[in-house]
């Protein structure tokens, strides 16, 4: 990796500071509240300096998405370091996504906001390239997980492609966590055991595609606890 010059380091640090401020604005006022005018008033920098970093509020929002995916990638790397079966590693990926949603609730939600119509069109080309590259890396974790499961014979489904399985996993995980967070008072959510809400949904999905061993043949609640212990150790030291 090319070492940054002092000027580049200063610019990078300033942009990280501005992203932190943008996160605070969204956390306080909601995802639709972010404007560069508000960011300018919150910061110690001029409007010209702000626009030197972000060409639009959508560009700033995409910068938040880059931060979000970068943070998730770090956790996914920890998940891959977990010692367990292929399906247990998949559980670790989902667990780290749950952990991420709790550590960074605003960034967890902003990734979807960043996909709203019109955001990409008003984002700088360099930022789009950065975000696309990060998203390809995050998808590669899930794709690799399923490729290995097929190769090991743990999944035997000729009718399902890796792309379909990766999307289904993300949709299930994001949807479960988003509803557990934003609709926690709904009867369908409040009557569930939140400690195992995500795990139960994962098992329903993975059993449905026939990923061996099935939950009827393995204690995945014990695996979930072992994964929690694994991440607790890393969380204390790295997050």
Give which of 100, 213, 94 is closest to 152, Cα–Cα. Answer: 213
Specify the 3-state DSSP secondary structure of 216.
Answer: coil
Q: What is the pLDDT of residues 211-231, one digit of tens each?
A: 999 999 999 999 999 999 988
State the pLDDT confidence band at 238, using cuts at 50, 70 and 90: low
Determine which of 103-117, 146-160, 177-191 has the lowest per-residue pLDDT on average: 177-191
What pLDDT score does 160 carry? 93
Q: Tell me, yes or no, if the two domains 1-54 and 67-238 fold the same way.
A: no
pLDDT digits (tens, 9 = 90+) for 40-63: 999 999 999 999 999 999 999 999
Phi, psi of 79 (to 5 degrees): -65, -40
Q: What pLDDT, in 10s, does the model give residues 57-108?
A: 999 999 999 999 999 999 998 888 899 999 999 999 999 999 999 899 999 9
For the structural domain made of 67-238, what CATH number should be given? 1.10.357.10
Output the CA–CA distances (angstroms, integers) from residue 152 to 19, 105, 156, 209, in the order listed.
Answer: 42, 36, 9, 15
CATH architecture classification, 1-54: Orthogonal Bundle (1.10)
Predicted local distance difference test score (pLDDT) of residue 239: 45
* Burial of residue 239, with CB atoms counted within 10 A of its CB: 0-12 exposed, 13-18 middle, 19 or more buried: middle
Q: CB-based contacts of 177: which residues, under 8 Å, 6+ apart?
A: 97, 98, 101, 108, 198
Q: For 94, what's the count of Cα atoms within 13 Å in the CB-facing half-sphere?
A: 32
- Structural domain boundaries in the chain: 1-54, 67-238
Q: Which segment of 35-44, 57-66, 186-195 scores lowest on mean pLDDT?
A: 186-195
The confidence score (pLDDT) of residue 185 equals 58
Distance (Å, rounded) from C-alpha 125 to C-alpha 123?
6
* Whole-number Cα distances in Å, 97 to 94, 101, 102, 136: 5, 6, 9, 17
Q: Any residues with CB less than 8 A from the CB of 107 and at least 6 apart, and which? A: 23, 64, 67, 68, 71, 100
CA angle 31, 167, 73 (to 5 degrees): 65
CA distances from 148 to 143, 144, 153, 172, 216 (A): 9, 6, 9, 21, 22
In 3-state terms, what secondary structure has residue 191? Answer: coil
How far is it, in rounded angstroms, from Cα 238 to Cα 194?
26
Mean per-residue pLDDT of the chain: 90
Read off the pLDDT of each residue in 23-39 and give the average, rounded to a whole number: 94
């Amino acid at each position: 990796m090319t070492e940054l010059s002092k000027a580049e380091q200063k610019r990078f640090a300033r942009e990280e500071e501005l992203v932190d401020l943008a996160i605070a604005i969204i956390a306080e006022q909601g995802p639709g509240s972010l404007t560069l005018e508000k960011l300018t008033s919150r910061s110690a920098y001029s409007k010209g300096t702000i626009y030197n970093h972000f060409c639009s509020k959508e560009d700033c929002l995409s910068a938040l998405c880059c931060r979000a995916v970068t943070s998730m990638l770090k956790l996914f790397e920890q998940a891959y370091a977990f010692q367990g079966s292929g399906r247990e590693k998949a559980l670790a990926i989902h667990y780290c996504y749950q952990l991420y949603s709790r550590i960074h609730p605003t960034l967890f939600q902003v990734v979807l906001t960043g996909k709203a119509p019109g955001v990409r069109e008003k984002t700088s080309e360099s930022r789009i390239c950065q975000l696309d590259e990060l998203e390809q890396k995050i998808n590669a974790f899930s794709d690799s997980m399923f490729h290995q499961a097929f190769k090991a014979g743990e999944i035997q489904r000729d009718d399902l492609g890796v792309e379909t399985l990766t999307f289904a996993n993300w949709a299930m995980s994001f949807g479960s966590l988003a509803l557990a967070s934003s609709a926690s008072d709904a009867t369908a959510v409040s009557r569930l055991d939140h400690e195992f809400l995500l795990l139960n949904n994962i098992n329903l999905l993975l059993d449905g595609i026939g990923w061996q061993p099935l939950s009827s043949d393995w204690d995945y609640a014990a695996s979930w606890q072992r994964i929690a212990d694994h991440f607790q150790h890393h969380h204390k030291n790295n997050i």
